[in-house]
Homo-oligomer: A and B are copies of this chain.
Amino acid sequence: MNTPMQQRSVTRSMALVRELVRTYQAFEQLSSSRIRSHGLTPPQFDVIATLGNTAGMSCKELSSRTLITKGTLTGVLDRLLDKGLISRRVDANDRRSLFVALTSEGDSVFRATFPDVTGHCDGAFAALSDEELKQITATLAGLRLAITAKLEP
């Protein structure tokens, strides 16, 4: 009633935010150990997973999808290049741009790791029906859109 506006507002989303963070952290903990067992770091896996099932993309697009800033991305790509998992070549149309794609070995790693990482969640979600999974996914998507809208302006 006479709780300050700011205070009430904060209380409203606090529980949700905390729970989102905790849920993600739990997932992170589960997936990170799986990722490392394949000899990758989480950011490296992020790149592999983003490139998987695509023809490839520019560093700019890869950066915006993974949320890894361009300066950092160069280093991450260097290490994946050393491992032979990606190729990086100049775009013929715009020679400022680099086209990054999985090599066939990178694709093998993608096919081995991605199902393994997500697959470890399936046991956890076994109790949920397809309908419930769909529902939760939609809820999260809505949440994400709300946050993204707040980010852009």
Contacts and interface: CB of A to CB of B under 8 A. Distances in A.
A10 B150 contact: no
Interface residues of A, number: 51
A118 B119 CA distance: 32
Nearest to A130: B12
Contacts of A13: 118-119, 121-122, 124-125, 133
Interface in A44-72: 67
Contacts of A23: 20, 140-141, 143-144, 147
A146 B118 contact: no
- State the oligomeric state as a number of copies: 2
A30 B28 CA distance: 19
Contacts of A147: 23, 26-27, 30, 121, 124
A61 to B, nearest CB: 15
A133 B12 contact: yes
Contact of A150 (B118, B120, B148): B120
Contact of A139 (B14, B26, B118, B139): B139
Nearest to A119: B10
Interface string A12-56: 111111011111111111100000000000000000000000000
Interface string A103-140: 00000000000110011111111011010011011011
